[in-house]
């Protein structure tokens, strides 16, 4: 008689086990994806632990390397050239003329874009079944920390992102403390407005027009933290008149290192006091014009060059 109930229990146990397995699979499915809201306000379902990432932004690529997640990268753009190891990653070409087929051929499970990629392209990628998240450069320097946090979350490096932000904030805090000490010293010139050098940052020059970073840019914040005053801080956007530049005649010119010689040799820029006095600072591309951890290097470098005038 006891054998009959046992026979009836076996199917019940089997059903129970199958239910547990199904629940476990459902939980794993929930855990394998995440939902984020990107900088275009789009809600995107992304893999919680991506394995194949394509970066469409030099800033994103640099931050991914800084977080130690470079092994996830299977694609980049021609402009993603820092660090040097980025050159080993296959390129999908330019940014303004993105080749979506080339991106899809890499079979990414996540694409991260930046400021140069419009919402239309991101929506096209979503429609093709590949999640694409946009992390753009923002007007204030402090947004660098937010971008590092956002990218860290996307690539499964949240702890590393927190650590990197702590290091960067510590370096900034040391700079501010050094300034405070300098201002407290007798006969200090730091506290006088006249001691603050005027700065012009060259984005574009020549026949195509004159372009710089206005007051609503993180570059303006970097110039200020380096101890300078951006002569274009009163404008929004990037266009600046040649007449205003010649009239302001700034103490220092900041220009990409590869453009420095051409700028100094071209009329009428060669008449500027900064050019005549050897106060043109050639800066490494990416350290100032991208919102990346190397912005700290830019601040330190500019401070050094301006103090050694």
pLDDT digits (tens, 9 = 90+) for 181-202: 666 666 555 554 448 999 999 9
Cα separation, 99 vs 105, in Å, equals: 10
pLDDT band at 227 (very low <50, low <70, confident <90, very high): very high
Question: pLDDT at position 28, please?
Answer: 43
- Which residue segment(s) compose the domain that 211 sits in? 193-307
pLDDT band at 118 (very low <50, low <70, confident <90, very high): confident
pLDDT (tens digit, 9 = 90+) per residue, 233-258? 999 989 999 999 999 999 999 999 99
**pLDDT value at residue 76:** 97
Question: Where is 301: in which H helix or E strand?
Answer: helix 295-307
Taking 50 as the threshold, does the pLDDT of residue 106 lie above it? yes
Tokens matching residue 200: 């012009």
Residue 252 falls inside a structural domain? yes
Query: Is the per-residue pLDDT at 82 higher than 60?
Result: yes
**Do 141 and 48 lie in a common domain?**
yes
Whether the bond between 268 and the residue before it is cis, its omega within 30 degrees of 0, is yes
What are the two backbone dihedrals, phi and then psi, of residue 240, each rounded to the nearest 5 degrees? -140, 140
Of 112, 142, 158, which closes a domain?
Answer: 158
Q: Is residue 17 part of a domain?
A: no
Q: Is residue 144 part of a domain?
A: yes
Q: Which two tokens stand for residue 227?
A: 């101890």
- Residue 48, both tokens: 């919680």
DSSP 258-275: GGHHHHHHSTTGGGSHHH
Residue 31: band (very low, low, confident or very high) from pLDDT cuts 50, 70, 90: low
* Mean of pLDDT values over 74-103: 94
Summary mean pLDDT of the chain: 88
Q: Which domain-ending residue is among 158, 177, 211?
A: 158
DSSP string, 147-172: HHHHHHHHTT-HHHHHHHHHHHHHHH
pLDDT, tens digit, 9 for 90 and up, residues 264-309: 999 999 999 999 999 999 999 999 999 999 999 999 999 999 987 5
Residue 18 lies in a domain: no
Give the per-residue pLDDT at 158.
97
Query: What's the pLDDT at 96?
Result: 83
CATH code, domain carrying 266? 3.40.50.1980
Whole-structure pTM value: 0.85
- CA separation for the pair 47, 31 (Å, rounded): 9
- Tokens (6 digits) for 75: 């694609």
- Structural domain contains residue 172: no
Residue 230: is its pLDDT beyond 70?
yes
Considering only CA atoms, which of 303, 217, 289 is closest in space to residue 62? Answer: 289
Average pLDDT, integer, range 207-234: 96
Per-residue model confidence (pLDDT) at position 12: 54
- The pLDDT, as a whole number, for residue 187 is 59
């Amino acid at each position: 008689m006891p054998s009959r109930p046992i026979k009836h229990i076996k199917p019940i146990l089997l059903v129970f086990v199958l239910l547990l397995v199904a629940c476990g699979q459902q939980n794993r499915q929930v855990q394998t994806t995440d939902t984020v809201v990107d900088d275009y306000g789009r809600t995107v379902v992304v893999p919680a632990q991506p394995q194949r990432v394509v970066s469409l932004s030099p800033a994103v690529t640099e931050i991914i390397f800084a977080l130690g997640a470079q092994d996830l990268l299977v694609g980049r753009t021609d402009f993603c050239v820092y660090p040097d190891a980025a050159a080993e990653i296959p390129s999908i070409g330019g940014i303004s003329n993105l080749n979506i087929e080339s991106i899809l051929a890499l079979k990414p499970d996540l694409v991260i874009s930046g400021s140069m990629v419009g919402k239309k392209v991101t929506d096209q990628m979503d429609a093709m079944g590949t999640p694409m998240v946009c992390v753009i450069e923002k007007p204030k320097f402090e947004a660098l920390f937010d971008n590092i946090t956002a990218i860290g979350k996307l690539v499964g490096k949240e702890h590393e992102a927190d650590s990197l932000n702590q290091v960067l904030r510590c370096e900034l805090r040391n700079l501010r403390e050094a300034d405070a000490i300098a201002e407290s010293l007798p006969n200090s010139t730091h506290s006088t407005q006249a001691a603050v050098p005027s700065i012009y940052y060259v984005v574009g020059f020549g026949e195509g027009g004159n372009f710089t970073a206005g007051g609503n840019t993180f570059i303006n914040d970097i110039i200020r933290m380096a101890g300078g005053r951006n002569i274009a801080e009163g404008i929004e956007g990037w266009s600046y008149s040649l007449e205003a530049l010649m009239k302001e005649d700034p103490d220092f010119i900041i220009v990409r290192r590869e453009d420095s010689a051409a700028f100094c040799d071209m009329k009428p820029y060669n008449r500027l006091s900064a050019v005549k006095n050897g106060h043109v600072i050639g800066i490494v591309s990416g350290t100032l014009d991208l919102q990346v951890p190397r912005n700290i290097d830019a601040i330190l470098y500019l401070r050094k060059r301006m103090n050694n005038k």
